[in-house]
Amino acid sequence: MQKKRKKRLGILGGTFDPIHSGHLILAEQLKEELKLQKVIFIPSANPPHKENHPISSAKDRLQMVKMAIRDNPDFLISDIELKRKGKSYTIDTLTRIVKLYKDSELFFLLGSDAINELQDWKEPEKIFQKVKVVIALRPGFNRINPENRFVKKSLLIPINGLNISSTQVRERVRQGKSIRYLVPAGVEEFIQSKNLYRS
């Protein structure tokens, strides 16, 4: 009897303040490269590394992700972190996700900048025991140290990513500049309607 193949799922977490086209391109290209059935976007509720930085409400960030992915049936959203109290530690979220999707093969998707921060995360070694860690490499992005022990344990996948950051998007809004095409149209409208990032 043929063994049933496990479903392959991607996990993409982040503050998503706001979610932008770079996030979506990364998710789409890694979905294709890794032959993932779905990619689950998980907005963080209380990211420990953002303690000294004001962030938009979890409700607003969740809504922006919903708007950004609504046209892609292969993209899902989870509010698992928003329902949990306390700090949003990746290892805690992945532990729960592994239980929820125990019959699936899970791939934790990271941008190449995040790999340098992993050493400061809670129990980073355990992350690699629970899921396959994937690092998306944008063209010309060479800040990865190949000797980094986490890099050696990860799958490195080149993508044709965009050089966009949420910080840049927020700054452009503050300066009254256009963010058209940097974020999906629905996200742009939401930012305007809620008057986000103006001050």
pLDDT per position as a tens digit, 102-160: 999 999 999 888 887 888 899 999 999 999 999 998 876 657 777 788 888 999 999 99
Q: What percent of the chain has pLDDT over 90?
A: 72
| pLDDT on residue 98 | 96
pLDDT at 49 over 70: no
User: What pLDDT score does 2 carry?
Assistant: 56
Least-confidence region, from 45-59, 89-103, 147-161, 184-198:
45-59
pLDDT at res. 3: 63
Q: Which residue has the higher pLDDT, 52 or 20?
A: 20
Whether the per-residue pLDDT at 57 is higher than 90: the answer is yes
Cβ neighbors of 192 (< 8 A, separation 6 or more) are none
Sign, CA torsion 81/69/107/3: positive
Q: What is the pLDDT of residue 154?
A: 94
Range of weakest confidence among 59-73, 112-126, 158-172 = 112-126
- 21 close to 64: Cβ distance less than 8 angstroms: no
Give strand ranges (E) for the chain. 7-14, 38-43, 75-77, 104-111, 132-137, 155-158
Instruction: Check whether the bond before 54 is cis (ω within 30° of 0).
Output: no
Question: What pLDDT does 110 receive?
Answer: 94
Mean pLDDT calculated for residue range 6-21 = 96
Burial 27-59 (b: 16+ CB within 10 A, else e): bebbbeebebebbbbbbbbbbeeeeeeebbebe
For the domain 7-163, what is the CATH superfamily, name and number?
Answer: HUPs (3.40.50.620)
